[in-house]
Amino acid sequence: MRRITERAVHVTSITSQSQQDISASDSSDFTLFDAETTGNLTRDHIMKLAVGVTGAVLIKNFSARQDCDDIMAALETCEFGAYDEQVITPRIAKLGPAVNDLYSSGKLNEQYWEHCAQALRTRSTLLRGTDPMDLAVSRLREAWGGEVERARTGGKPMYAGLIREMTLGSRIHFDEITLEYPGTLDEIPASFLTFNWYLAMPAGGGETSVFRRRWRPADEQYQDGYGYLDAVVAGEPAATMAPEVGDAAIFDARNMHIVRPGVGPGRRVTVSFFLGITGRGPLEIWS
């Protein structure tokens, strides 16, 4: 293939026969990896994330700020658990079971289902007597123009919708259930997106950066605790988002990503789950 050096050749400009062998990705500032901001999530956004031509989508005012404040007030009386603190440092508090804590011998253990029932009970009244996930799912359903269902494992619907506090940030990591916890999902989707709805944000910091870089086996040399050293994403394009309360963000969880620590007062709390496009058409969700 003929390579070109001109900057900013856009794919829409590739029309004539003589130009058909020009790849826009040869241009150094054309990365197909921008963070797009929208007030109105559409199916097209989800598809572009799924196929990897958008780095991240930040949805402004996914919910009213008041919804978030009401959920946060209701959470005051709820006790959070945490991811396994031997593995996940700094600590990430959460309400609800995650696959990584409760997967043993190729499947989710009994504790997972106990935590699931408990968390669904707690969550069911957090938004003025309703489940905040009902709001999130109904907005996603509208955007997708189709059904949104809980993913199944061994025929049973999985938990979807962790409430997580990540005020101290996260390490660079990726999430890929079929690689890390094979056999969990009954139906393998064609995408592995992650959805975060921001209920509370610290005064500063707390940004999310997503890198145009999926895990490779050779990356294990960079392993650092549950995550990876900065070197793993050196030189890679990144999509960075600074969400505000009420916003939501979606990106491909298989791309390396990091959450920066909060600066100043305030917690960083999200409703978080994964999102897959099934071959049948519905979106499936899990946490």
Judged by the rule CB under 5 A, the positions of this chain that interact with Fe ion are 175
Q: 22 or 181: whose CB is closer to Fe ion? A: 181
Helices 65-75 and 132-144, packing angle to 10 deg: 150
Radius of gyration over every alpha carbon of the chain, rounded to an integer in angstroms: 19
Whose Cβ is closer to Fe ion: residue 175's or residue 284's? 175
The least distance separating Fe ion from the CB of residue 84, rounded to whole angstroms, comes to 15
- Which sign does the torsion angle of CA 217, 219, 221, 223 carry? negative
Position 29, amino acid: D
C-alpha neighbours within 13 Å on the C-beta side of residue 22 = 19
Cβ proximity to Fe ion, 127 vs 276, nearer residue: 276
Taking the complex as a whole, the smallest distance from the CB of residue 164 to Fe ion amounts, in Å, to 10
Q: Phi first, then psi: what are they for 67, rounded to 5°?
A: -60, -45
Main-chain phi, psi angles of 192, to 5 degrees: -135, 70
Choose between 175 and 252: whose C-beta lies nearer to Fe ion.
175
Closest CB to Fe ion among residues 127, 211? 211
Cβ(135)–Cβ(126) under 8 Å?
no
What's the min distance (Å) between Cβ of 210 and Fe ion? 10
**Residue number with the smallest Cβ distance to Fe ion:** 175
CB of 259 to Fe ion, least distance (A): 8
Nearer residue to Fe ion within complex by CB, 123 or 164 = 164
| Least distance from Fe ion to the Cβ atom of residue 194, Å | 6
Quote the least distance from Cβ 81 to Fe ion, whole Å: 17
Phi, then psi, of 118 in degrees rounded to 5:
-60, -45
Going by C-beta distance under 8 Å and a sequence separation of 6 or more, which residues neighbour residue 22? Answer: 2, 4, 9, 14
Rounded to an integer, what is the distance from CA 163 to the centroid of its chain?
Answer: 13
